[in-house]
Structure 1
Amino acid sequence: MGFKQKYAYRKLAKMLASQNRNPVFPALKKHSKVGVIWQPSEKPAVHFLRDHFNKQGAIFRDYCIFDADSNPPVEANSLTVVDLNWWGIPKPDKIGEFVEIEFDLLLNIALEPNFAVNYVTALSKARFKIGSSPNDENYFDLNIKIAENQDAMFLAKQQIFYLAQLNKNSD
């Protein structure tokens, strides 16, 4: 990890230390707010999740984080390399609206985590965050280890499966 990335993660840690967050397991119902963080290669999984949660009557919002090799069209719900400052930290005006939404559930299906993905996930005001990280230290309330099965659709289905199982147990 280079100097710039160490600085960025240290700055993120300070921001997180000032937050007081208590995860709340979502009892998903009609009009629940669901957010998804994804990368361009995971588009079919985003459509799968959108269809699943729209059938339940949830309000669905997604946020795509592009990598350095992409040249995407400019959209409100995306973050590109142009939207990062010199340190690699996302500019507040670009992510501010998404991270301020109090989602009942935030799903992260990004398979190649990078600082921008971690930053948006960590700062999100979502009540409950689910994702996959091989690291023990991550920004999720529920970390699903998918090991060698690195597929966004598999991860999305696992997230829905575990949500359903946990909702059965909490009833």
Structure 2
Amino acid sequence: MILKGFKEKSNKKYLNKLLSERQVNVADSKVESLGVVLNIDEVDDFEMFRKLAEYIKVRPNKLKIIAFSENKKEDLNSWDSCFNSKDFGWNGAIKNLELQEFLDSSFDALISYYEKEVLELKLITTLSKAKLKIGILQTDERLNDLIIKTDKKQFDQFKTEVFKYLTILNKIN
């Protein structure tokens, strides 16, 4: 139990270090690939993200959804990948190969769709090599480049706002 607390503290320290060193990179590229990070304990309908990708004209093969669960669930075979806190080591080390592959992907946009303050979700958002990070309002505003203030239950409003801002930023073909 004590080691778990030390591990969490080392991960928080690593997260703060990454966020303080983060450089916002504004590129003129269009959104052609999309990554989605979500908490399956909060949102259980992943099909809405496939519809969002279709709405902003991202091909299905360029969409990758990864889910986090605080409880290890075995019946999540419909997800691209699911991870939990056991997939993280000390200082933000990743133990899951699928999760590391997701982080190594250079998405044009990453959607972080979770409200609950979970250290592992914040680490995934921060460690992602996405060019543009989009999320719903969280306490740490350094995580995302574009923050859309909606409730997680108002997905249609979120979808509309994402489309609107990506159009304004000239990120959609």
Common fold, TM-score beyond 0.5? yes
Separation (CA, whole Å) in 1 of partners of 2:142 and 2:23: 17
In structure 1, the partner of 2:36 is 36
Separation (CA, whole Å) in 1 of partners of 2:160 and 2:113: 10
Q: SS state of the match for residue 107, structure 1?
A: strand
Unpaired segments of 5 or more residues in structure 2? none
Q: CA deviation at 1:44?
A: 3.9
Q: Which amino acid aligns with 1:10?
A: K
**How high is the sequence identity, in percent, across the aligned residues?**
25
Distance 1:25 1:99, change over 3 A: farther
Report if the CA contact (8 A) 2:136-2:152 is conserved.
Answer: no
Query: What are the equivalent positions in structure 2 for 1:56-67 lying under 5 Å apart?
Result: 56-57=58-59, 59-67=62-70
In structure 2, the partner of 1:155 is 158
Q: CA deviation at 1:137?
A: 3.1
In structure 2, the partner of 1:142 is 146
Report if the CA contact (8 A) 1:23-1:141 is conserved.
Answer: no
| TM superposition score normalised by structure 2 | 0.72
Query: What are the equivalent positions in structure 2 for 1:77-96 lying under 5 Å apart?
Result: 77-85=81-89, 90-91=94-95, 93-96=97-100
Aligned length: 163
1:6 corresponds to 2:9: yes
In structure 2, the partner of 1:105 is 109
Report if the CA contact (8 A) 1:36-1:107 is conserved.
Answer: yes
Q: CA deviation at 1:11?
A: 1.6
Q: CA deviation at 1:139?
A: 0.9
| TM superposition score normalised by structure 1 | 0.73
Separation (CA, whole Å) in 1 of partners of 2:22 and 2:116: 26
In structure 2, the partner of 1:22 is 25
* RMSD over equivalenced CA pairs, Å: 3.4
Separation (CA, whole Å) in 2 of partners of 1:162 and 1:47: 19
Q: CA deviation at 1:142?
A: 0.9
Separation (CA, whole Å) in 2 of partners of 1:9 and 1:23: 26
Q: CA deviation at 1:62?
A: 1.4
